[in-house]
Chain A
Amino acid sequence: MEPHEAFVNSQLNSIDGGLILFRHATLPPYPNSDQRQQLMVSRKNPESSFAETSANKSGLQSSPPGFFLRTKLLPPRPAPQLLSRPRLTDRLLANLAYPLTLVTANAGSGKTTLVADFLRTHERQFVWYQLDHTDADPAVFLGYLGFGIQKLVPDFGQALFSYLQETRGESAQHPERAVDVFLNEVLEHVERQLILVLDDYHHLGANTAVHAVMDRLLAYLPDVLHVVIVSREVPPLALGRLRTHSPLATIDRGDLLFTDEETRELFRRVFDLELTPEQLAEYRERTHGWITALQLVRQVAQRAVISSREGQADVPDLVEVLRQSERDIFDYFAEEVFSDEPAEVQDLLLKVSLLDRIELDICAALYEGFNCSRVLPNLVRRNVFISVASDRRGEEYRLHPLFQNFLRRRLRSEIGRDGVSAEHQRCAGYFIEHQAWEQAVRHLLAAEDFDNAARLIAERGVEWISTGALGSLSSLADLLPPAALEAYPRALAHRAEVARLQGEYEFAHSLLRRAVALLHDQTDNEGEADSLHSLATLARREGDYELAFSYLDRAVLLSEPNSVVRTKCGNTRGLCLVALGEWTAAEREFRAALQSAEERNDEYYIRLIAHNLGTPAGMRGDFGEALRWLSRMLRKDRQAPPMPQEAVAHLNMARCYLYRGDFSAAEKHLDSALEGCQLFSLAGTRAETLETYGNLYRERGEIERAIEYYERSARAYDEAGVGLTRTELLEERALLGLQIGDLSSAQAQIDHLISARPPEKGELGFFTASLTRGRIMAARGEYQQAREDLAKAHEYFHLHGLYYYEAQASMAIAVCDFHLANERGMLERLRRVVDLTFRYDYEYWLKRKIEKYREIFSNEDALELLPFDLREQVSSPPATTSAPAQVSDIALANQPVTDLTVTMLGPATILRDPSRPLAADAWTTRRARDILCFIVSRRHHRASKDTIIDTFWGETDMGAVEKNFHPTVSHIRKALNSNQPLKQNFLLYRDGDYQLNPEFSYRIDTEEFDRLLSEGESARRARNLDECVRAYEQALALYRGEFMQGSYELWVEEQRTYYREQYLRLLESLAAVAESAADWQKAMHLAQLIVREDQFREDIHCLILRAHSAMGNRGAAKEHYEGLKRILENELGVEPSAETKKLYQQLFV
C-alpha cells in the first residue's frame, strides 16, 4: 500500500505552549527546507513563553475559565416605575426576524431602559452582556458570550472554551476562527431563539478585533440568535454589507426621544404629576423629549412643590437652565439632586464613583463606615441616577454615566489630586488582595504609582495573559513610563509576549531583547531563560533554527532542571529538529522534555509532548511506536472537554492504522478527526482528513468512493487556501491511477507534482514523488529508467532513516531488477524489504506485495527470505477478492461530488453518503422532513420563514409556533448530520428565508426529472428521436411513484398533480414511439402504466387493443374491451366512444 507521506499537517503551527493556530486564509509557506516535512502533528503555535499556569492547566478543564465576572452578565433590574413604550418595543419585536437591532443614542437617552423593559415584558431568552473597556479582547468577549449562553443552554461551550484556552491570545490575530467555533456550537446546541444584548458597546473603542468578531458573527448569524447592540455611537461594523439589515433595525436618538403623549404619560403615571398643555409645550421645546432632562425636570418640580409647601421660593428658572448644553443641564440638576442627599450618602457616592464596577461586597469592604447595603438600594429606589443589575446570587450597581462623570469631577475639586490618588491607592490595595490584577493596575495608574503598577504586571502577567485579556495588559503597560517598565523587565517580557501573540513579531523581538539584557543585569535567571525561550520561538517562526538553538542553549543553562522553561525548551528544540528532518535528535529532545513534564506532573505538556514524540516515529516509519505516543494525546475521560489538538492526533493515528492495514481502526479515527475539525473549524486538517479517507477507500478497493473523497479533499484544500502541490493529494491520486491501471493519468499527475517540487524546494517531497514516479514507470515497463530514479530516492530514504519509504523503494527496485534479469540485485533488495518489514512490522504491506508480485517471491532464494507463514501465502492460490476496477469503468477525471441527495418522486428519501445512511431515528419528526422537502422543492431551494409557518402550522396560535419552530429547524439540521462524521450546515437562514446552503452540491430527483424532460423536448424539436427517447426513458426511471408518496399536506398536491401529468405525458410519447416502431410489447407495457393512472383514457385503451391485435392476442383483446365497457358503464354510466367501438369492430369482429 502506498498511503504516502502523510505526516503532514498544514495548518497547526506548533508551539510548546500548546496552542493551535490554524491559518486557512493566510497559510504561510512551509517554513523549512522540506515542504511536506511539517510534523505530523504538533504544530500548535508560537510557543507562548508564559504558557503554563492556569490557562495551560485549565486546558484540561471544561468549564469556562475562572476569570469571568458573573455580574457582567446581569441584566439591569427594571426601574420601579417605568413607562412602557409600545411604539418602540413593538419595533424591537418585529426586528427579531433580522439578525441585528442597533440602539444608538447619547448618554441618558433611555437605551438600556428600553431594551431591558422589552425583554422583561416579552419573556424572551436572553444574555445581557454589560461591556466595558476590559472586553475589547476577542477571547474575553467570546468567552463572556459563551458563558452567558451556557447559563441558558448547559451543553453549550465545551468546544468554545477549550478552543479559547488553547489559542489563548491568538484569537486576537484570527478572531474569525474563534467565531466559527462559536457558531458551530450555536447550531449544535441552541434550539430556542436567544437574544444577545451587548450593552455599552461604545466602551470597546474603535481599535479592537472585537469588531471583526461581530462582523463575522453577524454575517453568519444563525436564525436562533438575535443581537441587540446598545451604544452611544454607531459601532464601526460592516453593517452595509449586512444585506438583511433593515432600516427599521436601528433605533436612534430621534426614536428614543419622548413624544408629547409619552411625556404626558410619563409625568402622569410615573411621576404622578399632571401637565398642563402649556407645560407640555414648554418641556417639548426645552428638552426635545430627552428623558434624562425630563427626569431632572421632574426632580426639580417635586422639590419646587415641597419648597413652596414649606414657604421657600428658590425655584430655579427652568427655562434658563434648559437653554444650556446637555452637560451643563445635567450638572445643574445633578448638583440639585446631589445636594439633597445627606452628607454620608454624598460622601459614599463620591467615593464609589472611582470604581468601574460597583459590587455590594466590594463596597462593603472598601467603605466599611458606610451602610452600603442599605444606602445603595435606597438610592436605586429613589432613582438617583443609579440602577442595579442582579440575580439571586449577587448584584451590581451602575451609576448613570453622566452622573458618574459629575461625581468624579466633584470629588476631585473637593479632596484634590492627592486625595483622589490616595483613594485610588486604597482601591488598588483591595484589588491586589483579591487578586483582581487588572483593576488593581488601573487604580495604581490613576494614582500615578507606576512602580507598583509595573511590579504587579511583572509578577502577575502570566496569569493575566492566560485569561486572554491581552488588550488590557498591553494598553495598561503602554501607559507606564519606560523607566518604570525597565525597572521590572519581567513586565517588559510580558508586554513582549502580548505583542507576539498579537502577531507583532518585530516589536516583540525588540522588547524581548531589551528584557533579556535587563533581566541579565538583575541576575533573574528564570526570567531571562523564559525570555530567551520566547526569542527562540520567534527565531523558529522565521525558520532560523541555528539562532533558535543558540537562544535555547542559553535558556537551558539558566534554568533549573525540570523547570517549566526546561520542558518548553526541550519541546521547542524538538520542533526545530523535526523541521530540519532530524527525526532521531527530535525524538531524543521530546523524550527528555516528556520526562521533565512527567516529573512535574504537568498533564498538559505530557499530552502535548507525547504526541509530538509520535511524529518523528511516524516519519521514520515505526507506526507501532508512533501510535503508542500519539494515543496519549487523546483524553482518557470521555467527559473531559475536547481539545483541538486531538483532531490532529486522530488523523495521525488513522494514518498509522492505515499503513498497518487496520482499516476499521483507521476509519474510526478518521471519523473522530473529522468531527474535531468541524468542531474547531480546522480547515486544513479537514482537507487532510478527507484525503486520508480517500486513501483508506483506495486501499479497500472502493475506487469510486476514493475518487469522490479525493475530490472533496481538493475542494477543502481550496477552501483552506492551500495549493495542491503543497499537499500529497496529487501523489495519492497518481497512486490510485497506478492501482487501477490508468498509467497515463497517473504519470501526468506525478509529472505535474515533480515539476512543482524540485529538490531544492525540499528533498523529501521531491524523493517521495520520485518514488511514485519510479513505480509508475516500472508499471509502464520502463525498468531501466525507473531503476535509476528509484535508486536515488532509495539512497535518500536510507540515509535519513525513513524506513517505510526505504522499504517501498527497495521493493520497487527489486521489481525492476526482476524484469532486468538482475537476480542478485533483486535478492539483495528483497532481503532489505523483509528485514525492514520485520523490524517495523510492515506485514500487511508485504503481504500485499507478495500477492501482487507472486512471480518474484516464487524465486527459490526469495522464498527462503520469508518466514514460513508468508511462504505459505506464496504457494497458496491467489485470493479471489473482487477484481480491481478497470479504467474503463471509472473515469479518474474529477467527478462531481454530491453532498445531499433528495428524492421525492415516490416516498421521500434523504441521503448524504450512500454507505452511511442517516440515523434510523433521524426523522422522528415527520414535519421536519417535510419542511426540508418543501424547501428543496421550491424555486432556488428557498422558502421564507412566513411561508413555512403558514404551510406547516397554518392557523396554530403564534405561541405554539414560537415554541416549535426553531426546535424543528434545529431538528432538520441535526437529522442531516446524524451518523455522519462530516457535520455540515445545509440549511441557512438569509434575508428572512430558509435555503439550502449554496456552497454544497445537491442531487434532487425532481430537478433531474425536469431537466431530462426539457432535454427530451429540445431533442424532439430538433428531430433527434433517439436522443429524445433516451432522455425520456431516463426521466421515466426517476419516477418511482407520486410526488411525496404518503404525504397528504396541502402543499404537496399541486406538485403531485404536475409531476403526474408530466409522467403521463412521457408515457404517452414513449408509447407512441414504440407503436410507430412496431415494438408492441413495449407499447403495451407503457400503455398499461398509463391506464393504471387514468383508467378512462380511451385513446390508450385503443392503443392496447391495437397492440393485442398486432401480437395476435384476440382473446386478451376481447377481454380487455369487455373490461373497458364494464368500467365505463359502472363508473361513468356511458358506453365506449364511437371510435373505440369502431376500432374494436375493425380489428376483431
Chain B
Amino acid sequence: MFLIDSSHDLTSGRLELITDKIAQPPGRPRISRSRLLNRLERSLAAGTSTIISGRAGTGKSMLALDFAGRCGRKVAWYKVDAPDSDPRIFFDYLIGSVREQRPGFARLLGPLVEAADFEHIDALAEAFIFELGDSDKHDSLLIVIEDLHLVSDSEWLMPFFTRLLPLLPADVHVLITSRSLPPAPLWRLRSKQSLVVIEEEALAFTRPEAITLFEGYGLSSEQANIALDHSHGRAAALNELATFLRKSETRSNEQSRGLDVPNSCEQFAWK
C-alpha cells in the first residue's frame, strides 16, 4: 500500500463509502398511487428535477421508491445523513451513487473534488453536469437524493443546487425527498419550469386511495373513511391504523365477534 500523505485522507473523512447509503432500499409500497406517479412521470418528461416535500410519515420515500422502480431508467440512489453536511463527503457519495450506475463516472471530477476549496461551488456543479452530459454511451438516469433536509442548513447546498438543477442534461433527472422545503432560492426554480415540487397536501391519501389501501388489508371502505379522518391522510398513520385494525379484526374473528369499527379507531392511541 502506498500512501503518500495520510493525514488528509484521515481528517477529511475520505473513508470508504458506506454502501448502504448508495443502494436503493428494498421494499415496495402496498399500493401504487397513480395520481402521484403520473405527476412524477410528467415532471420527468418536462423538467430536470422534482422535490417531494412532506413531514415524517407522509409517504415520500415510498413514492420515490415506487417511481424509481417504474420510470424505466437506471437509478442512482443516495440516502443523505447528517454527517454529509461536509461538501466533500456529500460529493463523494453523490459521485459514488452515480458511479454505481455508470462505472468510471467522474474520472475528472473526482480529483477536482478532492482538491476543491468549495468556495467556487458553481464550478463544481458545472463539472458534474459536464460529466453527466457525456451520455452517448449511457442509458438515461434518475438520481434520487433522499432526506436532503438533513443537510439543508449547509451554506454550499443552495448555490450548488441552484446551479445544478436548471442545467442538467435531458436524460438525467434529479428527484429529491425532504421533510421541509429547501430554502426559497431553490424552490423558486419552479417558475422556470425546471423543477416540480410535490408538497405534503398532495401526498395526503385521498379517499379512494385510502379505500384501496384498506382493501389490500382486507378492511372495509367504512373503516378506511374513519381512518382517513383520524390520520389526516398521512401514509404512515394510515398504515399503522390499518395494521392495528387488521389485528384486532383477526382477534375479534377468532372470538367470533363483530368488529366495532369506530371504537377500534377511538381506542387507537396517537403517538
Which residues from chain A sit less than 8 Å from chain B, CB to CB?
Answer: 552-553, 556-557, 561, 583-585, 587-589, 591-592, 595, 616-617, 620, 622, 624-625, 660-662, 664, 801, 835, 838-841, 843, 867-869
Min CB gap B238→A, angstroms:
13
Known: A841-B179, A868-B201; 5 extra A-B contacts, CB below 8 A, are: A584-B86, A592-B18, A660-B271, A840-B179, A841-B56
Q: Output the least CB separation between A945 and chain B (Å).
A: 50
- Of A617, A620, A622, A839, which is in contact with the most chain B CB atoms at under 10 Å from its CB? A839
Closest A residue to B20 by beta carbon equals A595
Whether B120 sits at the interface, judged by CB under 8 Å, is no
CB pair A553 B82 closer than 8 Å: no
Identity of the chain A residue whose Cβ is nearest the Cβ of B89 in the assembled complex: A588
Q: Chain A residues near B6: list those with CB within 8 A.
A: 553, 556-557
CB distance from B93 to the nearest CB of A (A): 11
Residues of A within 8 Å of B269, CB to CB, are 664
Known contacts: A557-B6, A801-B153. The answer to whether A592 contacts B15 by CB under 8 A is: yes
**Cross-chain contact of B55 among A561, A589, A841 (Cβ < 8 A):** A841
Complex A-B: 27 CB contacts under 8 Å: A553-B7, A553-B10, A557-B3, A557-B6, A584-B83, A584-B86, A585-B13, A585-B83, A587-B81, A588-B13, A591-B83, A592-B16, A595-B20, A616-B82, A624-B56, A660-B271, A801-B82, A838-B55, A838-B56, A838-B180, A839-B150, A839-B179, A841-B55, A843-B55, A867-B200, A868-B201, A868-B232
Choice from A553, A592, A839 contacting B149 with Cβ under 8 Å: A839
Known interface pairs A592-B18, A595-B18. Does A622 touch B82 (Cβ–Cβ under 8 Å)?
Answer: yes
CA distance A553 to B71 in the complex (A): 45
Q: How many residues of B contact A (CB 8 A)?
A: 29
Query: How far does the alpha carbon of A839 sit from the alpha carbon of B152 in the complex, in Å?
Result: 10
| Chain B positions 175 through 187: 1 when the CB is less than 8 Å from some CB of chain A, otherwise 0 | 0000110000000
Q: How many A-B residue pairs have CB under 8 A?
A: 71
Q: Is the CB of B200 within 8 A of A584?
A: no
B239 on the A face (CB < 8 A): no
Residues of chain B lying within 8 A (CB to CB) of residue A561:
16
Pairwise interchain contact A839-B89, C-beta atoms closer than 8 A: no
CB-CB under 8 A from B180, the residues of chain A are 835, 838-839
Residues of A within 8 A of B15 (CB): 588, 592
Q: In the complex, which residues of chain B have a beta carbon less than 8 angstroms from the beta carbon of A556?
A: 6, 10
Which of A587, A595, A664 is the one whose CB lies under 8 Å from B83? A587
Contact of B85 with A by CB under 8 A: yes
Q: Of the candidates B82, B149, B152, B232, which one forms a contact with A587 in the assembled complex, judged by CB atoms under 8 Å apart?
A: B82
A663 to chain B, nearest CB (A): 9
List A contacts of B153 (CB < 8 A). 801
Question: B19 contacts the other chain (Cβ, under 8 Å)?
Answer: yes
In Å, the complex CA distance between A624 and B56 comes to 10
Residues of B within 8 A of A662 (CB): 271
Q: By the criterion CB–CB under 8 Å, are B10 and A838 in contact? A: no
Instruction: Determine the distance from Cα of A616 to Cα of B3 in the docked complex, in whole angstroms.
Output: 31
Verify B271–A838 contact, CB threshold 8 A. Answer: no
B82 / chain A contacts, CB cutoff of 8 Å: 583-584, 587, 616-617, 620, 622, 625, 801
Residues on B lying within 8 angstroms of A by beta carbon are 3, 6-7, 10, 13, 15-16, 18-20, 55-56, 81-83, 85-86, 89, 149-150, 152-153, 179-180, 200-201, 232, 269, 271
Q: Are B179 and A838 in contact (CB under 8 A)?
A: yes
A801 to B85, CA, bound (A): 10
CA A591 to CA B149, docked complex, whole Å: 19
Contact assessment for B56 and A661 in the assembled complex, using a CB-CB cutoff below 8 Å: no
6 pairs of A and B residues whose beta carbons are closest in the complex: A588-B83, A838-B180, A584-B83, A592-B15, A869-B232, A839-B149
Contact partners of A587 in chain B: CB under 8 A: 81-83
Residues of A within 8 A of B20 (CB): 595
Distance in Å from the Cβ of A3 to the closest Cβ of chain B? 16
Find chain B residues with CB under 8 A from A867 CB. 55, 200
Cα–Cα distance between A617 and B20 once the two chains are bound (Å): 18
Bound-state Cα–Cα, A616 to B40, Å: 35
Q: Bound state CA distance, A20 and B56, in angstroms? A: 35
Cα of A999 to Cα of B7 in the assembled complex, Å: 55
Q: How far is the CB of A565 from chain B (nearest CB, A)?
A: 14
Inter-subunit contact A595/B16 (CB<8 Å): yes
The residue in chain A whose Cβ has the minimal distance to the Cβ of B153 is A801
Minimum C-beta distance from B97 to chain A (A) = 16
- For A838, give its contact among B13, B18, B83, B149 (CB under 8 Å): B149
The interface residues of chain A lying within 8 Å CB-to-CB of B89 are 588
Nearest B-chain residue to A562, judged by Cβ: B16
Known contacts A617-B82, A867-B200; A591 and B271 CB within 8 A of each other: no
Q: Quick one: closest B residue to A806, CB to CB?
A: B153
Closest to B54 in A: A838
C-alpha gap A556/B81 in the complex (Å): 24
Instruction: Look across to chain A and name the residue whose beta carbon is closest to the beta carbon of B200.
Output: A867
In Å, the complex CA distance between A592 and B93 comes to: 13
**Chain B residues positioned under 8 Å from A835 (CB to CB):** 180
Considering the complex, give the chain B residue whose CB is closest to the CB of A594: B18
Bound-complex Cα distance A464 to B211 (A): 64
Nearest-neighbor residue (CB-CB) of A596 within chain B:
B16
C-alpha spacing A588/B15, complex, angstroms: 9
Residue of B nearest to A869 (CB): B232
A661 to B271 alpha-carbon distance, docked (Å): 7
Chain B hits for A552, CB < 8 A: 10
**Interfacial chain A residues near B85, Cβ < 8 Å:** 584, 801
How far apart are B22's CB and chain A's nearest CB, in angstroms? 12
Cα A869 to Cα B18 in complex, Å, equals: 37
CA distance A835 to B232 in the complex (A): 20
A821 CB, min distance to chain B CBs, angstroms: 26
Closest residue of B by beta carbon distance from A843: B55
| Bound-state Cα–Cα, A943 to B176, Å | 73
**What separation, in Å, do the CA atoms of A867 and B55 have in the docked complex?**
9
Q: What distance in Å separates the Cβ of A632 from its nearest Cβ neighbour in chain B?
A: 13
Alpha-carbon distance A616/B55, docked complex (angstroms): 22
**Cα–Cα, bound, A672→B56 (Å):** 28
Interchain CB contact under 8 A, B55 and A591:
no
Which residues of chain B have C-beta atoms less than 8 A from A840's C-beta? 179
Q: Which of chain A's residues have a CB closer than 8 A to the CB of B201?
A: 868
Complex alpha-carbon distance, A547 and B264, angstroms:
60
Q: How distant is the Cα of A906 from the Cα of B11 in the complex, in angstroms? A: 72
Nearest to A841 among chain B residues (CB) is B56
Give the nearest-CB partner of A661 in chain B: B271
Please indicate the chain B residues that have their CB under 8 angstroms from the CB of A585 in the complex: 13, 83
Residues in B neighbouring A660, C-beta threshold 8 A: 271
Nearest CB in chain B: distance from A610 CB, A? 12
Nearest-neighbor residue (CB-CB) of A557 within chain B: B6
**Alpha-carbon separation in the docked complex, A616 to B7 (Å):** 24
Q: Which residues of B contact A868 (CB under 8 A)?
A: 201, 232
How many angstroms between the C-alpha atoms of A622 and B200 in the bound complex? 21
B198, chain A: closest CB distance, angstroms = 15
Q: Report A-chain residues with C-beta under 8 Å of the C-beta of B152.
A: 839
* A291 and B89 alpha carbons, distance in the complex (Å): 80
Give the docked Cα–Cα distance between A617 and B83 (Å).
10
Bound CA span A633–B222, Å: 42
Residues of B within 8 A of A625 (CB): 81-82
CA distance A553 to B13 in the complex (A): 12
Docked CA distance A584–B13 (Å): 11
Would you give the shortest CB distance from B182 to chain A, in whole angstroms?
10
Contact A591 B16 (CB under 8 A): no
CA distance in complex: A52, B120 (Å)? 46
User: What separation, in Å, do the CA atoms of A843 and B234 have in the docked complex?
Assistant: 14
A741 to B160, CA, bound (A): 49
Minimal Cβ-Cβ distance residue in B for A598: B20
Distance in angstroms between the alpha carbons of A661 and B269 in the assembled complex: 12
What CA separation (Å) do A403 and B25 show in the bound complex?
73
Q: How far is the CB of A540 from chain B (nearest CB, A)?
A: 16
Instruction: Give CA–CA (A139, B126) in the complex, Å.
Output: 63
Determine the distance from Cα of A896 to Cα of B55 in the docked complex, in whole angstroms. Answer: 45
- In the assembled complex, the CB of A99 is this many whole angstroms from the nearest CB of chain B, namely 51
How far, in angstroms, from A558 to B271 measured CA to CA in the complex?
Answer: 49
**A-side contacts of B16, CB under 8 Å:** 561, 592, 595
Chain B residues with Cβ below 8 Å from A616 are: 82
Q: Decide: B81 and A591 in contact? CB cutoff 8 A.
A: yes
